[in-house]
């Protein structure tokens, strides 16, 4: 298991606990935004093609002199098994294109 994936799974465990304390309805679908950073536009573009093929809406923006930031949005529930599968998929995409998966954000559901 990669360091990126380990980090994201640990971060999710903490977020999951917070969401449970806030009585978030994890089974309620909502917009989920995933964030990536790539060292060059070509790598970002290739990752975007992969993400769009998975039905994500993708936004690309330049950050700094060299880095390219990608945001990928879709609708999903936040069940533990769903998020763990998504984290594995997102980290794999970032690593396949020499990038870093920076995590995700989603509002509270229900």
Q: How many domains does the chain have?
A: 1
Closest CA to 90 of 51, 61, 59: 51
For residue 66, what are its two tokens? 């060299």
pTM listed for this prediction? 0.92
pLDDT recorded at residue 1: 74
The boundaries of the domain holding residue 63 are 3-106
CB neighbour list of residue 5: distance below 8 Å, 6 or more residues apart: 87, 88, 91
- Strands (DSSP E) contained in the chain are 30-38, 57-63, 67-76, 99-106
Q: What is the CATH number of the domain that holds 77?
A: 3.30.70.970
Interval 64-104: pLDDT, tens: 677 999 999 999 999 999 999 999 999 999 999 999 999 99
Q: 74 versus 41: which is more confidently predicted?
A: 74
Interval 7-30: pLDDT, tens: 999 999 999 999 999 999 999 999
């Amino acid at each position: 298991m990669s360091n990126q994936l380990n980090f994201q799974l640990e971060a999710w465990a903490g977020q999951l606990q917070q969401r449970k304390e806030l009585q978030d309805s994890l089974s309620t679908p909502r917009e989920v935004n995933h964030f990536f950073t790539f060292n060059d536009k070509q790598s970002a573009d290739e990752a975007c093609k992969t993400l769009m093929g998975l039905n994500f809406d993708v936004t690309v923006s330049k950050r700094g002199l060299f880095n390219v930031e990608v945001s990928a949005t879709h609708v999903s529930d936040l069940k533990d098994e769903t998020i763990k599968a998504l984290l594995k998929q997102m980290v794999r995409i970032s690593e396949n294109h020499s990038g870093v998966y920076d995590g995700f954000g989603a509002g509270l559901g229900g």
